């Protein structure tokens, strides 16, 4: 089938188009396959919020929930069994993509967000989820908290591919890249193979604008600064990516078969209706990147998306934007701290909601 021209052009520019959503209905109906066939989708990301919506809003899980209830499994086991099943099926659907385009064809499954500040528990659950899904084109999502960084290194060293999530600041992004390289180095030192190991670093965009815009308003700053920081911050992240993955340290790993950790633009659905609904795609076009999009944003770009200024030509302007935001009185360190804490808490809340929903359904079907 013919691919949508706008999304095909985006792919040709080096941006892998991923869908930020998954449900059993989407898989069974053929919708996910059609997005692959017609809209250039080559990967899928999930999170607790996505699964909470999928499971509570569908009867496609009823038979499995009944079987789990009859077996009297715990809520936690039921939750992991259900989500792992969807991710496994999506991995199988995307396997031809993975074989054709190594690094793509990936589906992400997140460790329990309540573990975000526990290094050992995060690494242990990452290993368990990798075993449970048992598909080579899986990504385990680990949050880029301070405790998450050593868990990323350990997980990569164990030969498990990782999607690092909830990255907001350049400082933390650089630490994430270092954690990835350290994991590869540890695996090599222990005699392990780097074959098949991949990673993406999910740099969040629209949430940065939401928080900074609020602070710019409170400071009475020039309104022209609003809606600029999210893209500028991400553009500077790509500059950092280019520096790290052209370094001698990286080249030594690349010579041993390592593949670069790609920047992934996340939180690309526009929160402010006054902004262009495709701005977090159009302004973040660069080779070797991933953009994971809610279906609404994906379809908006398919309909009327046009490329903006290439990221590599935006570094000076991006640095000027971030300096202007600082000069307006916005404490960026505090912005990024708040965003990380809120990001973890939002996923914890969604996980709790999902747990309660599964608990109720198990009781109903017992």
Give pLDDT tens digits for 111-142: 999 999 999 999 999 999 999 999 999 999 99
Whether 212 and 335 have beta carbons less than 8 Å apart is answered as yes
Residue tagged 């990301």 (tokens): 45
Number of residues that make up the chain: 366
pTM across the whole model: 0.96
Q: Tokens at residue 219, please?
A: 């400071």
The answer on pLDDT for 263 being more than 90 is: yes
Neighbouring CB atoms inside 10 A of 253's CB total 20
Distance of alpha carbon 348 from alpha carbon 10, whole angstroms? 34
pLDDT band at 56 (very low <50, low <70, confident <90, very high): confident
How much is the average pLDDT of 190-206?
Answer: 97
Which residue from 288, 292, 277, 325 is spatially nearest to 310, judged by alpha carbons? 288
CATH assignment of the domain containing 31: 3.20.20.70
pLDDT band at 256 (very low <50, low <70, confident <90, very high): very high
- pLDDT, residue 357, reads 86
Task: State what percent of residues in the chain have pLDDT above 90.
Answer: 92
Residue 165 sits at φ, ψ, to 5 deg, of: -115, 170
The answer on pLDDT for 281 being more than 90 is: yes
What residue numbers bound the domain in which 273 lies? 5-365
How much is the average pLDDT of 171-184?
Answer: 98
pLDDT band at 361 (very low <50, low <70, confident <90, very high): confident
pLDDT band at 267 (very low <50, low <70, confident <90, very high): very high
Q: Is 141 a catalytic residue?
A: yes
Burial of 75-100, coded b for 16+ CB within 10 Å and e otherwise, reads beebbbbbbbbbbbbbbebbeebbee
Average pLDDT, the chain: 96
Distance of alpha carbon 11 from alpha carbon 17, whole angstroms? 7
pLDDT band at 217 (very low <50, low <70, confident <90, very high): very high
The answer on pLDDT for 190 being more than 90 is: yes
pLDDT band at 2 (very low <50, low <70, confident <90, very high): confident
Please, which residues bridge with residue 266 across strands? Answer: 204
- pLDDT, residue 58, reads 87
Number of structural domains in the chain: 1
Task: Give how far the C-alpha of residue 247 lies from the chain's centroid of Cα atoms, to the nearest Å.
Answer: 25
Phi-psi region of 200 (alpha: psi -120 to 50; beta: other; left: phi over 0): beta
Whether 191 and 222 have beta carbons less than 8 Å apart is answered as no
Residue 33 neighbours by CB under 8 Å, 6+ apart? 93
């Amino acid at each position: 089938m013919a691919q949508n021209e706008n999304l095909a052009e985006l792919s040709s520019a080096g941006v892998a188009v991923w869908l930020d959503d998954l449900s059993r209905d989407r898989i069974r109906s053929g919708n996910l396959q059609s997005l692959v066939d017609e809209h250039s989708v080559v990967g899928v990301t999930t999170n607790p919020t996505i699964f909470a919506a999928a499971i509570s809003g569908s009867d496609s899980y009823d038979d499995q929930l009944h079987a789990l209830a009859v077996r009297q499994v715990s809520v936690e086991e039921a939750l992991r069994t259900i989500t792992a099943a969807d991710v496994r099926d999506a991995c199988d659907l995307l396997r031809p993509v993975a074989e054709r385009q190594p690094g793509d064809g990936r589906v992400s499954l997140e460790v329990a967000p309540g573990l975000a500040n526990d290094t050992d528990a995060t690494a242990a659950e990452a290993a368990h989820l990798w075993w449970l899904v048992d598909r080579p084109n899986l990504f385990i999502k680990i949050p880029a908290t301070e405790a998450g960084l050593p868990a990323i290194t350990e997980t990569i060293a164990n030969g498990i591919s990782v999607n690092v999530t909830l990255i907001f600041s350049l400082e933390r992004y650089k630490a994430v890249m270092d954690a990835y390289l350290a994991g590869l180095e540890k695996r090599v030192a222990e005699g392990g193979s780097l074959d098949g190991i991949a990673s993406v670093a999910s740099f969040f965009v629209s949430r940065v604008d939401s928080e900074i815009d609020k602070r710019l308003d409170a400071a009475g700053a020039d309104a022209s600064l609003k809606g600029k920081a999210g893209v500028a911050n991400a553009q500077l992240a790509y500059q950092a990516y280019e520096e790290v993955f052209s370094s001698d340290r990286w080249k030594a790993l690349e010579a041993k078969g390592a593949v670069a950790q790609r920047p992934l633009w996340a939180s690309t659905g526009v929160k402010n209706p006054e902004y262009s609904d495709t701005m977090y795609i159009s302004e973040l076009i660069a080779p070797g990147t991933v953009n994971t999009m809610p279906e609404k944003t994906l379809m908006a770009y398919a309909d009327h998306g046009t490329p903006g200024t290439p990221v590599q030509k935006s570094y000076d302007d991006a640095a000027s934007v971030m300096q202007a935001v600082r000069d307006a009185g916005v404490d960026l360190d505090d912005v990024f701290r708040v965003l990380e804490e809120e990001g973890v808490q939002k996923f914890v809340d969604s996980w709790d909601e999902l747990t309660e929903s599964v608990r109720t359904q198990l009781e109903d079907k017992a």
